[in-house]
Every structure is written in C-alpha cells, then in structure tokens.
Structure 1
Amino acid sequence: MSEIVLELNNLACGYAGHKVVEDLSIHLRAGDIGCLLGPSGCGKTTTLRSIAGFESVSAGEIRLDGQVISSPTRSVPPEQRRIGMVFQDYALFPHLTVAQNVAFGINKHPNRQRIVAELLELVNLGKLGQRYPHELSGGQQQRVALARALAPEPRLLLLDEPFSNLDGELRRRLSGEVRDILKARGISAMLVTHDQSEAFAVCDQVGVLREGHLQQWDTPYNLYHEPATPFVASFIGQGYFIRGQLLTPDTVQTELGVIRGNRAYQLPTGSAVDVLLRPDDIVGRDDSALTATITGKVFLGASTLYRLELPTGSVLEAIFPSHDDHPLGEVLGIEVSADHLVVFAAQGSVNVSAQLPLEQVIAAGASA
C-alpha cells in the first residue's frame, strides 16, 4: 500500500477568528490526486490555504510525510513546507519571461536552465520560453504556472480552482493534461473545485464538503454509486428522490413498482424511505405498463436528457442515446434498472429540484 503523504486529523481552521472548517479528517496517498469539492463557502479554499500555511489551525493537525506542519501550537512557514501551489489567476510575474517565471523558485539551483527547459517541454511550451505572460493564451499561462510550481520538486502540489478562468473545451483538455503530467512524475496533489466533472476527471479521491463539514471522502465511482448522505446523493450527478416503503432490507415499494437492489439496508422493515433515481436508472421499454409523459428535453450530442412526468405528477429524468429521439408530449413505456439501489430514511419532502426548469438543472449539474 502506498505511503501517506498528507494527513488532516480532526482539523478546524478559519480566518479572522471565524471557524470555517471543523473536524475534518482525510489522508492522501503518495502519487494520488485528491480533491475538495463543494458549493461556494463550504470551506474548500480555507482548507487548502491551511495546508499551504497561509491560514492558522485552531484544532487538530496537518501532517506532511508524517511530520506535523500545522497545529494550534506549531506552524511551519509556507516556504519551508515543500508545497507548490497553482492559483486560479495564474499569478505570473508580468515583467519576467516564461522561462524566468518558471525559474523563479530555483534561481540558485546549479541546473536551473536544464530544469526549466525540461519543464517547458513537459507542458508543451518548449518554444515559448522568451515570451511574456501577456503574449500567451489563458491555457498557456496556466501551463507556465504549473511548470513554475513543479520546478522546486514539491512534495505536494495544491491547485486552487486552476481551470475556472478557461472556456469549457480548453478546461476539459487542460485538466486531462495536468492529470497526465502529475501521474507521469508521481506527484501528489490536492485540487479545489466546485465542478464535479472536473473533480471526477482528474482525481483519485474526492472529499465532498458542506458548510465546513466533510460528508464523504471516497473515489468518484463510490460517490456517485454509494453516496453516504442525502446531500452527497443530490449534489453528485443528477437525480431525484421518490418516496417508498422498505419491504425487505433490499426491496422497496414505490409508485414505480417494487425495486430490488444489490445490497441490504439497516433500516426497519416497513419504514418510509427516499429512493435516489438517476437518469441512467430509467430505461425505455415499449411493452411496460409503467408510462411517463415527456415534458422537457435537452440535446447533449451523443445523448438526450428527458424530463418525464409520471401519472401521479412525480418527475424523473432519463438519458437516452440521441438517435432514440422522442418529441415533447409523447408517452413512453419505462422501467427502473437500478441495481445500485440507494435509499435513505425518509426526510421531509422529496427532492425539490424537480421544480426547476430543465435547463437550470443541466447547468447546476455541470457546475456543481
């Protein structure tokens, strides 16, 4: 098993006397890329700044390679932590060339020129070393910032929303390139983002934060298919809760019929539960007695997302291949295919996101 590079143990931190994060415990293995994910104000960046040494710790501790670097009684200065950082706004020096920016942290290194040349080649900027930041595109500037952070050979790299200033396609492509670079060099990293698609594409482990508290630290796959809390279930991916009654530990009676999953739940038989259904859980079936009316659709290219209204008035979503095209108002036969059944004890009303326009739901799912 890989060694642990970064440990946050019962961490509490904030700024100006205001506690933002409480009781946060996670660990990152060597060579892994982790992520702190959550809505604005949940404590992601505050935690990252505490790891970097820019914010104090009021409780718990932060360890790097087993050594305490932050606690209420100890704080290693940022410049002594061997931690690199890539900022959202690039933070390049406008009066320095690309090569000089990359060399900034290793000016006294005897092999400075060789290191700079290798890093510029690594980030596909080998021929642009003599240009200035204002002569580069946003994606090229972010590559320079990455090369500069890698030059001192940090033990850990922190990335604070590094792709948020880029357009969608460039963001997707550059995030993949950054992952490849970090993996090729075996560099451990922690990313902060509010974009779950970015987190899933780049990271090995993702921590979902809500109001300063960790909801779940897990793989992207498990966050989607095995959410630990209703918040994680609703925040990750798209989906709706419908009310049901637990018939057996692995069977639920719902308005869609009896749904059987692949696991047992430790809830009292007969209790009310909320069942999570995602668009990929709903499939079309012409001979099904269960029907729904198409009330909205969004073309996504390879697929189309449909909003479906059940005869009871409940709303679901389904995603079909785009060549399987259906008009608004059509009544479809559907069935539930949810082997990874996710249920929670019933909590008040079911998911209210069904009241949003479909386009807003799409946008929220893309940027959450």
Structure 2
Amino acid sequence: MAGSLVACVAAALLSGIAGGLLRVGITLPVAADAPWLTRAALAHAALMMCGFMGTVISIERAVAFKHRAAWTAPFASGAAALALLCGAQLPAALLLVLGSGAFVLVNALLLRRQPAAHTALLLASAVAWFTGNVLLAVGASSSTVLPWWFAFLVVTIAAERLEMTRLMRRRRGAQPALHLVLAALAWGAACSGLEPRFGGVLFGAALCGLAAWLLAFDIARRTVRAEGLSRYMAVCLLGGYVWLAIGGVAWGATALGYPVRDIALHALGLGFIVSMIMGHAPVILPAVTRVKLQFGNFFYLPLLALHLSLALRLAGGAVDFHLRAQGALFNALAIALFAATAGGSALAWRQRQGPRRVSDPRP
C-alpha cells in the first residue's frame, strides 16, 4: 500500500511538472505526443496542488493521527491524480471531494484531541481544500477554484508557522491580526467566483498582509542568525515570504486587468510554497518516512537555483516569452536538483551510520 501511494505522489509531481512545461511550449523528448501529457497540461494545477501537495500533506496528517481510516484522504487524492492522467475528470473530481472530505474529518478530530489556534487553522485549511474540490466537481471555473486551493496551502503553512511562534514572545495583537488576515483571505476566495475584481484584490491584499505578518513575527527572523539546518530553514522561509508578497501584489493586479497572472500563480506556487517544501523537508521527511537526511551546505544549491530561475521566468518572462519558457525549464531542473540532493543526503546518512551499527556490540 505504501508503495502504491508513493507511486501516486511521484506520478502527480512528474506529470504536473511535464504538463507545466508543455504549457509554456517545452515538450519532453520522450512520448511528446502522448495523450497523458496533454491531459497533464490541462490538469497542471490540480496535479500539483491536489495530487501532489494535497496527498503529501494528508500523508503527514495521517501519520500524526495514527489511525488507518486517516489514510483515506491521501489514497483518494493520489488516485484522483491517476484518474486525471487517464482523462477521467469527473471521477477524479469526486475522488478529490472524497479525499478532502475525509481530510476535514481527520483535522476536526485532531482539533478535538489538541485544541489550539494552529490546529483550528489546519481545520480551516482543510475546509478550503474541500470547498475548492466541490466547486471543481460542479464545474466551476479555474478562477473560482484556484483561490480555494491556494488558501488551503497558504493557511496550512500559516498554521505551521503559528505553532512555531509559540517559542517567541509575541505582541498582544499578533494572533488576532493573523486571524483577521486569514479571514480576509477566505472572504477573497469566496468572492472570487461572484465578484472577481473585488475578490481578487482582497485575496491579493490578504496574501500581502500574511507576508508582512510572517516577516514580522516568524521565528525565522531569529534562527537566520544560527548555523546549520536552522539557518537554512530560515533562509528558505524568509525568501518564500518575499515571494508571497510579490504573489499577493500580482494577484490583485491580475484582478484589475493587468497581464501578470503567471507572476501571481508561480510566485505563490513556486516561490512561496516550494520554498516552504525545501525548508521543511529535512525535518518532515524523517518524521514521516523515517529516512534521515545528512544536512550540508549543498542544500543551498537547489534553493538558489529555484530563486534565480523563478526571477528569470517572472521578470524576464514579462517581456519575452522565450525567457519565460527557459525560466520554467530551470524551475523544473531546480526541483529535480532538490530531489537528487535529498536522495543523496539520505544515502550519505546511511553510509555515515553504517559502520557504527556494524561495530556496536549486540546485547
């Protein structure tokens, strides 16, 4: 079962990246005319945000919940990714509704087990994912669905960072301010389908407000002065917050009619969310998979590649479509480099620990 789930996650990620490249005019040399590749291009956002990210997050939550039924969510969203690649759009949408509905229930039970502000936000993020999937199933437009999917990912990250700020002394109004920003985010998502101009501007403003809150209150402001893994994580987070602010400005500008949709979507999806993945992976992967990583400064290479390629894509791509395509290709290579870095660091850990296990006497 675990192997099939890993295969679904890998299929969603790889096909989502391939589909994204096709959308900017870059085709892979292998099976360039394959039907699944065209479907991957059409379902790029669903594959990346639901099939990949939704499945990974629900796996993390299932591990924390420690009950077999909690695995309904990741298996359903993983199967939805495969259904999208097979062209079964309605079954895929229904599987996403099933998976996110189960995910809402898991988070509700986790909140009951551990009542706290961050677990309440995790439940809110699950409801956002469920709402977006229901809208997808009833045939709503992407401009109506995408704000809910992004709200799911953004609020999940905000909840995790809120939990970490418990280690810091916060000003009295910090937590209410965060709740106000996230309420505006949800309101903006809800209005996007009815009043796109107002909803988009509000959603973008809320993203900017969240970036400001994170830059002001997140513990990364302190840990960036540390060394090793703590500093690396802080660099990932602070860089991601800058992209979050850029994405918020571009989201509002898109709603006002400016042609910056690619900046809005990928400053959020790549600059913010993938930066968060790179920052948290050295901690989350060992906790979920029990595979430990040997951290080193080489982790900075894919992070630098991601930010530079994204700057090329969004800044250069605004005036030259060729630069946009090249930037997208380098985005994919940066993600591949990070995967190779994580895999290599896992092997390095095993090699480093192997001789110790052999030399240790057995009781």
Higher RCO (C-alpha 8 Å, min separation 6): 1
TM-score normalised over the length of structure 1: 0.25
Higher strand share: 1
TM-score normalised over the length of structure 2: 0.25
Higher helix share: 2
